[in-house]
């Protein structure tokens, strides 16, 4: 049953699925707290950490996340990422873990799923976000995944299967990090019994699913999120399960929803009533954004929406989706009309302002785009997401000096962000500042998980004849730094 479709997958698809099953506990269709203290969660994972420490988990998780990112599995969209991170941190504050302990990221897949990897890396599939009908439902999934991390479920799973899983897990991670490019490693991973052990592992994780359901509820309540959202999401997917295509079928096979699970989720939520649940108001916008950005290339995202633009007051989420789809599809008049209505309705909404400015750029209306960016800057000058998008836009508009000023302001807050370093490398190169361009590009490769590439680039730059001795010395020092940081990362110390 379950093993047959897995064994017919391509080697890379098999390994990716295996990583999610071995190093993650999947959820199946299954701001800070205001004046509420931390909720104490039972430390049920202590024994597991003796064999798989938190440092080990962080190193494995970070490397797996980087690999997924480099393979294009992670949706490269700062807006969606910022939203998920903010919502996730709002929920996670009740765990007592330090701020920044979790990394929430969107997955470019229309499958209805979410997963938690070692080290607090939590992926939310676009298919799950678009299937949810409220921020409370989405938050219920995120709370569930947060508990998988705090309760050491991943470490406990690995510890339980330790005689078998250590070698297999190492092979799977190695194959994934190589992008499936080494056939010997790929075949070794399959040959160790990876496929034949999947069903047993899934059965083992069902107790974790129920534990995560139960402990997520108080986390949601302390964040002033309606915990009934989890049960509502369960219930709707349960009713629709017969009508779903393959995006949900495999999920329900491995982690079946039951009437009992839904009933228990409702009962737990009723025990933690939230009188005035709070939402960011951004969920409908992000949902439509992710729907548009993950539409298969053979389809038009405009097909999801009515032919006529809807009201910005009555349905801003749909209008945002219509406008973004029109902009990407080249219907610039329709896009500008839609974003103009949204900005007029709520000028303080950063996503509307960014959408409008970027729509103007796509239509090659650069003068209007620059004016729009200037207007938005008066409202969001210190916002990290705005600074990134503004710097990117200024580069596209052939204004590298202004772009670099904007990006340096962001760099002080995000020095290890690969994308920020990449934009700074481009700006520096455009300005003829070649040494700085090499330094920032080396940072880009280093923080993308490819320290070897960073070192090769620097060595090639050092060998160039156009450098002064002081410039050559600066790059040599950077090369030493890259080697040191890369070694620490590979050893799990960075």
8-state DSSP, 123? E
Asked whether the beta carbons of 149 and 88 are under 8 A apart, the reply is: no
The pLDDT mean for the chain works out to 81
Q: Which residues pair with 121 in a beta bridge?
A: 103, 117
CA distances from 336 to 286, 330, 389, 393 (A): 19, 11, 18, 17
Mean pLDDT of 404-421: 96
Backbone angles phi, psi at 138, to 5 degrees: -60, -45
Beta strand pairing status for 25-27 and 103-107?
Answer: unpaired
Per-residue model confidence (pLDDT) at position 246: 58
Residue with tokens 């409370």: 136
pLDDT band at 266 (very low <50, low <70, confident <90, very high): confident
Comparing 436 with 255, the larger pLDDT belongs to 436
- What local confidence, expressed as pLDDT, does residue 28 receive? 44
In the numeric block, the tokens 């190169």 are attached to: 429
* Cut 0.75: pTM above it: yes
- The domain spans of the chain are 3-270, 295-374
CA atoms of 381 and 374, how far apart (whole Å): 10
* H-helix or E-strand spanning residue 103: strand 103-107
Instruction: Using DSSP, state whether 465 is helix, strand or coil.
Output: coil
> Which pLDDT belongs to residue 122?
92
Contact, 88 vs 223, CB < 8 A?
no
Least confident of 26-40, 338-352, 401-415, 455-469: 26-40
User: Pick the residue with more confidence: 465 or 366?
Assistant: 366
Which residues on adjacent β-strands are paired with residue 107? 74, 125
Angle at the Cα of 345 (from 409 to 315), degrees rounded to 5?
A: 110
Q: Per-residue confidence at 11, pLDDT binned at 50, 70, 90?
A: very low
- What is the tens place of the pLDDT at every residue in 115-147? 887 789 899 999 999 999 999 999 999 999 999
- The Cα 285–Cα 133 span in angstroms is 12
Closest CA to 324 of 356, 366, 347: 356
CA 429 to each of CA 146, 168, 379, 487: distance values in angstroms, whole numbers, following the listed order = 41, 44, 30, 28
Model pLDDT, residue 234: 84
- Scan for tokens 């070192």, then name that residue: 455
Residue 207 pLDDT more than 70?
yes
Once rounded to an integer, what is the mean pLDDT over residues 231-242?
Answer: 80
- Residue count of the chain: 494
| Greater pLDDT, 361 or 182 | 361
pLDDT of residue 160: 58
User: Could you tell me how far CA 280 lies from the centroid of its own chain?
Assistant: 18
- The helix (H) or strand (E) run that includes residue 116 is strand 114-117
Instruction: Look at residue 15 in the predicted model and tell me its pLDDT.
Output: 41
Cα→Cα distances 60→28, 111, 154, 157, 198, Å? 23, 24, 11, 15, 20
**pLDDT confidence tier of residue 100, bands split at 50, 70 and 90:** confident
Query: Could you tell me which residues are beta bridge partners of residue 25?
Result: 116
Which pair of tokens denotes residue 271? Answer: 């025990």
């Amino acid at each position: 049953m379950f093993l047959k479709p897995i064994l017919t997958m391509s080697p890379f698809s098999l390994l990716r699925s295996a990583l999610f099953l071995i190093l993650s506990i999947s959820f199946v269709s299954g701001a800070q707290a205001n004046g509420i203290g931390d909720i104490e969660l039972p430390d049920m994972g202590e024994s597991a950490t003796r064999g798989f420490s938190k440092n080990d988990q962080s190193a494995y998780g970070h490397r797996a996340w980087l690999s997924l990112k480099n393979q294009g599995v992670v949706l490269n969209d700062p807006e969606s990422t910022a939203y998920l991170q903010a919502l996730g941190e709002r929920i996670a504050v009740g765990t007592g873990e330090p701020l920044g302990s979790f990394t929430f990221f969107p997955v470019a897949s229309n499958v209805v799923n979410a997963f938690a990897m070692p080290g607090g890396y939590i992926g939310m599939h676009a298919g799950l976000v678009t299937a949810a009908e409220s921020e409370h439902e989405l938050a219920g999934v995120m709370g569930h995944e947060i508990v998988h991390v705090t309760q050491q479920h991943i470490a406990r799973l690995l510890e339980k299967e330790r005689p078998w899983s250590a070698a297999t897990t190492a092979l799977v991670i190695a194959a994934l990090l190589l992008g499936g490019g080494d056939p010997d490693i790929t075949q070794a991973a399959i040959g160790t019994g990876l496929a034949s052990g999947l069903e047993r592992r899934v059965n083992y994780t069902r107790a974790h699913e129920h534990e995560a359901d139960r402990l997520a509820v108080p986390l949601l309540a302390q964040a002033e999120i309606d915990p009934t959202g989890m049960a509502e999401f369960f219930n709707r997917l349960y009713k629709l399960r017969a009508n779903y295509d393959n995006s949900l079928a495999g999920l329900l096979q491995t982690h079946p929803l039951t009437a009992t699970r839904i009933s228990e989720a409702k009962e737990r939520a009723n025990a933690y009533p939230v009188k005035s649940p709070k939402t960011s108001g951004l969920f409908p916008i992000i949902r439509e954004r992710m729907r548009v950005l993950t539409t298969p290339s053979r389809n038009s995202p405009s097909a999801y929406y009515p032919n006529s633009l809807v009201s910005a007051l009555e349905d801003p989420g749909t209008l945002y989706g219509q406008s973004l789809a029109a902009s990407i599809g080249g219907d610039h008049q329709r896009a500008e009309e839609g974003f103009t209505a949204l900005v007029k309705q709520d000028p303080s909404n950063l996503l509307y302002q960014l959408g409008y400015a970027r729509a103007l750029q796509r239509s090659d209306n650069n003068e209007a785009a620059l004016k729009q960016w200037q207007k938005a800057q008066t409202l969001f000058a210190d916002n990290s997401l705005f600074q990134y998008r503004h710097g990117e836009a200024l580069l596209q508009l052939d204004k590298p000096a202004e772009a670099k000023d904007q990006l340096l302001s962001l760099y002080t807050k995000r020095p290890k962000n690969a994308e920020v370093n990449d934009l700074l490398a481009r700006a520096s190169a455009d300005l003829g500042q070649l040494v700085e361009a090499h330094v920032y590009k080396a940072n880009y490769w280093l923080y993308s998980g490819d320290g070897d590439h960073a070192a090769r680039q620097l060595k090639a730059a050092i060998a160039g004849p156009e450098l002064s001795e002081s410039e050559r010395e600066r790059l040599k020092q950077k090369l030493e730094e890259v080697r040191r940081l890369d070694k620490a990362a590979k050893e799990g110390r960075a």
